[in-house]
A and B are shown apart, each in its own frame.
Chain A
Amino acid sequence: MGFDLSFALSTVPTILGAIGTTLLVALISCLGAAGIGFGFEMLRRSGGLSGYAVRFLIDFIRATPVLAWLYFLYFVLPFYGIRLGALTVGILGLSVYFSGYLAEVFKAGIDAIPKGQSEASRAVGLSRIDTIIFIIAPQMLRNIAAPLGNYFVSILKATPYLAVLAVPEMLGQAFDIASDTYRYAEPLTVAGILFLLLALAISQAVKRVETRLLGSNRR
């Protein structure tokens, strides 16, 4: 057996061909999950009955498998007349699924902002929305840059689940090559390295943002 470098290189174009899909899904899902998660967190903070309902929803999402979400969105919704494309379902599924985790992360980030910040904001007459946009969100991001990076990497690594929707992403392509040739080491190594590079790129990007956000706090 052994590792055949030239065969490994020959698999690169095919696997790399799917990097666009993988990146597209990962990036939009990151934004989607962050958006939905932030919305959840805001609703939960508004308290009352809807706050409890949202809290249950967040726990429910966290407690259920992503595969089930993808399955329902793709195979079951059409029975109710809602037919979304595979990419849409993939992005939506990952966004919803990770929004549960991100809502928790946002919670920690907001809890760490001193209460005086929102009070000062109200004292100068800013509306609730303006307070969220201009005061809370930027400071929250600064507090949670590191765990946010954790979840962005998680989202990237969850893209192979889209195989169940027949979306051709990188890991799927690698497995296709492998099952054609029964040579697993080479394509999987290539896909593994590509995933690792993308994940490291995300970590680095998040670290950059973190440093920039922290910049204003340093002397």
Chain B
Amino acid sequence: AETTKERILREGKIVIGIHNRSPWGFRDDKTGEATGWHPDLLKAAFSELGVEELDIRVTEFGALVPGLLAGRFDAVASGLAITPERCQQVLFGMPDLKVPDAAIVLSGNPKKIHGYADIAAQAEITMGAGRGSVVARNAIAMGVPQERMLLFPDIEANISALRAGRIDVAVLSSPTVIGLLSNGKAAGIERALPFEIVDDQANFAAIAFRREDGDLRELYDEQLARLKADGTLAKIMEKYGFGAPEAVPDTMTAEKLCGAGE
């Protein structure tokens, strides 16, 4: 039978799942087109092969992987982080972005938060994070007690909670924070700078494919390597305000991140 890769190349169209999260992958409200880091990357990677159309399916975060596995989309282009457990379920492309943790606080950083250590040390600080996010696990590993952490289902709830004074700091991923603060709509809050993190905590984001679509992943990896070499990748990073802290070291591969998983 036709593989997913063959079908994509024949139709010139790839179906991707996104969960509408800036900057990872979201629907542009004016054009209705998919935009964001991963969709842009996919477009750049595949357009040369005649795959011009990105058919987007927008859904909840929790439905992304089930949708991929159920064959509802060909790839998830919405900022998934590579972890060994997840590698057992899906096939990740080459890591394309380093995702360090970053914090958002009220303007002026009244509690002077500059790292997990500060959060752990001050008993009156409550921290917010995305539920099921890697950030939450990092925080626990760094000694932030669980009862001082509120896990919200989305970024907006985190921001609302911060503004309402229900939390003192929202720890998110650095690309999310950059995307959030870039359009100038988020008044009254700012990025906590600096925010100390231990380097081996950083995650790496990638596009995910079904495990049986190894050929598609290979094709994508080749294309991604090309984009890296010809500087296109750096250009897209610049577009979204990503710089050196978000760059993936050349030595880093999906295999390494998956460890025993793959």
Contact = CB atoms under 8 A, between A and B. Distances in A.
B90 interface: yes
A172 interface: yes
Nearest to B66: A184
Given A75-B161, A179-B61, A166 B69 contact: no
A164 to B, nearest CB: 6
A180 B88 CA distance: 11
B152 interface: yes
A71 B90 CA distance: 35
B90 A164 contact: no
The interface residues of chain A, by DSSP majority, are classed as helix
A1 interface: yes
A175 B166 contact: no
Contacts of A179: 61-62, 131-132
B141 interface: no
Contacts of A178: 62, 132
Interface string A72-86: 001110110001001
A176 B131 contact: yes
The B interface is mostly helix, strand or loop, or mixed, namely: mixed
A181 B166 contact: no
Contacts of A86: 150
Interface residues of B, number: 25
Contacts of A180: 83, 85, 132
Given A78-B164, A83-B165, A181 B69 contact: no
B8 interface: no
A77 B50 CA distance: 53
B232 interface: no
B210 to A, nearest CB: 10
Given A180-B132, A182-B85, A184-B66, A163 B161 contact: no
Given A75-B160, A166-B150, A182-B90, A175 B85 contact: no
A107 interface: no
B131 A172 contact: yes
B160 to A, nearest CB: 4
A182 B86 contact: yes
A181 B165 contact: no
A182 B70 CA distance: 13
Interface string B80-103: 000101101110000000000000
A85 to B, nearest CB: 10
Contact of A164 (B128, B152, B165): B152
A169 to B, nearest CB: 11
B166 A78 contact: yes
A163 B153 CA distance: 6
Nearest to B60: A175
Contacts of B157: 75, 164, 166
A183 B261 CA distance: 14
Contacts of B128: 166
A176 B88 CA distance: 17
Interface string B224-251: 0000000000000000000000000000
Contacts of A182: 65, 85-86, 88-90
Interface string B146-175: 000011110001001101111000000000
Contacts of B62: 175, 178-179, 184
Given A180-B132, A182-B90, A183-B89, A1 B164 contact: no
B147 to A, nearest CB: 11
A74 B167 CA distance: 12
B89 A79 contact: no
A159 to B, nearest CB: 14
A183 B157 CA distance: 25
A179 B85 CA distance: 10
Given A74-B166, A184-B65, 6 more contacts: A71-B160, A78-B164, A78-B166, A179-B62, A183-B89, A184-B62
